[in-house]
Chains A and B, each alone.
Chain A
């Protein structure tokens, strides 16, 4: 019986420990943020790794999500004879929810796991320790550029996802199903506000998601056990925790933004 309580106690203590360590880690990153601007080439390298190389998966998924939305939305709307609203439906759902959230989930799977595995392996092969021996702060040299790159790449990826999704919905609705092109765009423009929807929905949400996903990925990598098993566990935790955090944060942000 006491063993049960001991186990509960142990696991909750370890959760709090991880949370505390993660927050301290974030503080250290934020304190060292200036370093990233001193060495922009390091950031550029990471934007290439995190942003540019995620582009293909983001673009393809965006196109298909938009096309599916167009197809499903048309089938539902046509029952009410208001298939012209398809543009508004596709754009609203992409801009407010699907664009930033799906991008963040894909980003966690594509870029977050890579970040964790890379840093975890650096730790396992004692590259981080070697850097420290040379008097280079691994947090500044390795972690900060990746953090800035993640924060920078996420909004751009989300914007590309959303824009391509809307074009996909246009292709499906107007190109294949014969919705009037003028009504598609004009109803979309009537229902979407620059500040309320585009700024809050795409930009602010995706910056918040980029922040959370990159933070979790970097922390898991940095705190992983320096063994092959530890790295694999850390990578799994990154994807799971980052996805859950994104979904939960999305609920909170939506509650705050659109009421």
Chain B
């Protein structure tokens, strides 16, 4: 078999098509820009319970992703979970007294960390610890409390 012009063009097209497909998978599907958050500053927050929050969970402000969780650990001294997050550089004017809460996207969705800005004039910087936190809502615990309060109520009514 001799190599014809068609074959050369065909192989060239095939290779570029394959590379284009890989590029599409990297850029459009995996969103390479979202994981390349190496710039920015690290902030920590302590929680009693972090639920299912994990590394790479989004950190949101007013619903906008401003950073990602980079580390989840247990702080033995304080007896609490400590979450370290990297906030993008361009969101550098976040008040120092911002509070952090863990919410769930939808009823069964994944959990994310939400920041609610406070009113202080000084801004968060590298290594700060967020003072005000609100733990994740554990559905089972809420249901348990609800049932318990209902039982107590019911018992109360029965008493003459």
Contact = CB atoms under 8 A, between A and B. Distances in A.
A and B interact physically:
yes
Contacts of A166: 25, 29
A189 B29 contact: yes
A44 B31 CA distance: 33
Contact of B32 (A159, A163, A194, A202): A194
B152 interface: no
B14 A162 contact: no
B29 A95 contact: yes
Main secondary structure of the interface of B (DSSP, over half): helix
Contacts, number: 87
A51 B11 contact: yes
B29 A44 contact: no
A75 interface: no
B37 interface: no
Contact of A163 (B8, B10, B24): B24
B29 A188 contact: yes
A142 B58 CA distance: 53
Interface residues of B, number: 30
Given A41-B3, A45-B3, A159 B11 contact: no
B11 A44 contact: yes
Interface in B1-18: 1, 3, 7-8, 10-11, 13-15, 17-18
A197 interface: yes
B28 A157 contact: no
A52 to B, nearest CB: 4
Given A48-B10, A52-B10, A194 B17 contact: no
A160 interface: yes
Contact of B31 (A51, A160, A189): A189
A41 B8 CA distance: 10
Interface of A: 41, 44-45, 47-48, 51-52, 55, 80, 82, 91, 95, 153, 155-157, 159-160, 162-164, 166, 185, 188-190, 192-194, 197-198, 202-203
Given A48-B10, A95-B25, A162-B21, 16 more contacts: A44-B3, A44-B7, A45-B1, A48-B7, A52-B13, A80-B108, A159-B19, A159-B25, A189-B29, A189-B30, A189-B34, A190-B34, A193-B35, A194-B26, A198-B29, A198-B30
29 contacts: A41-B3, A44-B8, A45-B3, A47-B14, A48-B7, A48-B10, A51-B11, A51-B14, A52-B7, A52-B10, A52-B11, A52-B13, A52-B14, A55-B17, A80-B108, A95-B29, A156-B15, A156-B18, A156-B19, A159-B19, A159-B22, A159-B25, A163-B24, A166-B29, A190-B34, A193-B35, A194-B32, A194-B35, A202-B22
